[in-house]
Amino acid sequence: MTQDNLGTALVVPSEREGGLARLQEAVLAHRAALEEYTRDRTPLQWGAVQQNLGTALTVLGERERGTARLEEAVLAYHAALQVVSRDREPFLWAQTTENCARTLEVLAEREAAKTVGREPWSKQKRP
């Protein structure tokens, strides 16, 4: 739990600072938490950590060029949704589903931007 909380706590200041270092630390912390919370032993906690990992990877991926981190984020969200059901955990399910959709939107924008040779909209300031 401590590693997952650390990872989540590192994302907040990274949004203010705009750097990558804290986000990279957050990803490492969430991955360390996944060693403690396994899908077999603690499926709901494992799913929550996967969702938190997806969030950290999404924020990191939005700041980096390319799509690798965003694709990792989608995988983490999909992993979370394997154990988080709408009936049992409606808030976590909705949050994970929405975060995954937002990440897929950023991926689509990046792919579209490649075809027209411009910077993706997600790299521009949003209103």
pLDDT tens digits, one per residue of 2-33: 777 767 777 766 667 777 888 999 999 999 99
pLDDT of 127 over the 50 cut: no
Mean pLDDT, range 44-62, rounded to an integer: 95
2-123 is classed CATH 1.25.40: yes
pTM: 0.85
Q: What is the DSSP string of 60-113?
A: HHHHSSSSHHHHHHHHHHHHHHHH--TTT-HHHHHHHHHHHHHHHHHHHHHHHH
CB 20 within 8 A of CB 61: no
Give the domain ranges of the chain: 2-123
pLDDT tens digits, one per residue of 55-106: 999 999 999 989 999 999 999 999 999 999 999 999 999 999 999 999 999 9
